[in-house]
Structure 1
């Protein structure tokens, strides 16, 4: 078992992971805005007092804030970094109107906002594709090798040589697909379709579960079918093969995130599994201590997470803006500034509450509450 990295290493790893993700996200907004002729007053990585920065020839202030937990692009005409309009259109000069974000057609504003999360998904695709070209993609066929005695597969009558076609309607082309579907469903009853010889068979299976320890001694629970592959197969892909494969991998990770959130909402998973910045920092430090490849792979997962979260229809997030623009397009007039203000206030309250909740979860996962309980007891 490995020891936890020191705090200074965790902080450096977290900043090294989060900084490029935020930059890439905001760069997506900035590039598409430039395409449509929208001006940017500032481009910030981090919040708070400026630590370093410069102004380019277009008048955009590029800067780094002291709190490296996000970033923003402030466009011409914005009241603040969340792109609320600061002035009525008639109060803007001709030059300001020409470059102002809020004077653009709604479809252009929609694409500018969408470009941020899209950039995060694109970054993950690039990382996955690079790994597939350099190291190969796991392509172990979904064929059962050894069946673990008294496991879910054993009780369901599965045998070595059976090919699993789908689990709960999710196709299992490769063996890692089996692991991806079952690991999220400890103690679930699933519908499994498999092929034996030339016959397709369907069988209900009650998955098992197992509590495991990662390299650093932290506990986690996974669902188990109880089968192993005959042998692992990796295939190095060409660039033309790697890109669509990476798109598929990114889509699968996103689907897993949706499933996990759904399980938390329905009570099938504990809300305590929601992690916040502290746990993200810890994981970043742990992966970085294992080597650069583990760390870069984690950046891809973080990037998908950032893109997905920003698409949620919560005011203050990109998804909240997209929802408002959709309403504007349908009703053919902008949502009132008062309604926008209340929406952003409620969104801010929700995000602050979520931050507090996940931070408490993080502290609990570090054993703080158990320690406090022992001291009080």
Structure 2
């Protein structure tokens, strides 16, 4: 039987996830800008009309705005919250022009823009490193501890004691490596390499598919090989090893994110799996209801996704600005203002279209379309 954490828990969970991540992302931009002497006009949590705020002694307006779905830092020389260059910055006196973002060397601008997503990755590394220290990590080897009858593993002759060494050419060391690769590929053709009694065997097969439903009624389709691990091998993580483990875990989650997005773009996974703010709010409430450790681990995952999305080369996103800076560095002159203007308009249109699609998906995840179908029927 599924249950909902309730509207209040959902709203609190969403605020606890998005609020700190947006603040830290924008703080990355802010601190990098300050480091290079760029004047900062505004630091906003949320978009649209200001609800309340204050102005500090440096002239920066710190504010909370009506739409709490993100935030921005507006530097001197920016036309708007998306950091579109303002052509008027060229008309400023030399001293003021030097304090605009556009007046800084391209490498400094690139660091300021990249600082936001980098901060998101650093947040994830810190959280995951702390979890590794608190709970340890699983180092169970990729040795088959059992085979499910009728499974994919049984079909290719895997037996207890065999060691899986590679899947589709990717090196496999631990049982977690096997799980992470298989779970994202339900029904996929794969090539399994394994050692059996000293012989290396290579078999092509198709992963099984399982559909699971959690306690909140969410359904998940995942790939299965049909093997069980040997006795778990926990590994305690010390203070000096923790950052390395945190980076490794962040890299694994990021790789899964990129692979999942690639599957959606290639048509192997449904676009229904793309979610937006409403779904993040829903899942945030669910994770919050399961306890603080679960919520904090979820925050790490969202932080990684936020950093990755912002690095995509789409105008209006940080990655779009970095793309223009890369062109400027190669050409030794900025991209023409009219080209940037049309690119930003195109980026805005693309983002708005994506928001419409993910909102449609999110409402489906809340059961709205099924409810309307039932009413009509």
- Range of TM-score over shorter length: over 0.9
2:359 alignment partner in structure 1: 359
The question of 1:343 aligning with 2:354 is answered: no
The question of 1:38 aligning with 2:46 is answered: no
Shift of 1:55: 2.3
Shift of 1:216: 1.3
1:191 alignment partner in structure 2: 191
Equivalent pair of 2:311/2:319 in contact (CA under 8 Å): yes
Q: What do the CA deviations read for 1:15-63 (whole angstroms, capped 9, x no partner)?
A: 1100111111111111111221112111111112323322222221222
Q: What do the CA deviations read for 1:116-165 (whole angstroms, capped 9, x no partner)?
A: 11110111001000000111112221111111110000111001111111
Alignment of 1:112-191 (within 5 A): 112-191=112-191
Equivalent pair of 2:13/2:288 in contact (CA under 8 Å): yes
The question of 1:281 aligning with 2:270 is answered: no
Distance 2:373 2:186 in 1: 30
Shift of 1:167: 1.0
Distance 1:76 1:374 in 2: 53
Q: What do the CA deviations read for 1:160-195 (whole angstroms, capped 9, x no partner)?
A: 111111111222221111111000111111111112
Distance 2:234 2:49 in 1: 48
2:301 alignment partner in structure 1: 301
1:225 alignment partner in structure 2: 225
Shift of 1:267: 1.1
The question of 1:249 aligning with 2:278 is answered: no
2:70 alignment partner in structure 1: 70
1:376 alignment partner in structure 2: 376
Shift of 1:89: 4.2
Shift of 1:374: 2.3
1:206 alignment partner in structure 2: 206
Distance 1:362 1:89 in 2: 41
Equivalent pair of 1:170/1:181 in contact (CA under 8 Å): no
Distance 2:49 2:90 in 1: 32
Distance 2:40 2:202 in 1: 58
Shift of 1:341: 1.0
Q: What root-mean-square deviation, in Å, do the aligned CA atoms of Structure 1 and Structure 2 show?
A: 1.3
1:332 alignment partner in structure 2: 332
Equivalent pair of 1:77/1:96 in contact (CA under 8 Å): no
Distance 2:24 2:173 in 1: 32
Q: Which moved more, 1:14-23 or 1:198-207?
A: 198-207
Distance 1:171 1:294 in 2: 29
SS for the counterpart of 1:193 is strand
Distance 2:311 2:299 in 1: 18
Equivalent pair of 1:147/1:160 in contact (CA under 8 Å): yes
Structure 2: which 5+ residue stretches go unaligned?
none
2:97 alignment partner in structure 1: 97
2:311 alignment partner in structure 1: 311
Task: Give every structure 1 segment of 4 or more consecutive aligned residues whose post-TM-superposition deviation is greater than 4 Å.
Answer: none
Equivalent pair of 1:288/1:294 in contact (CA under 8 Å): yes
Equivalent pair of 2:2/2:214 in contact (CA under 8 Å): no
Equivalent pair of 2:51/2:64 in contact (CA under 8 Å): yes
Q: Which moved more, 1:197-206 or 1:69-78?
A: 197-206
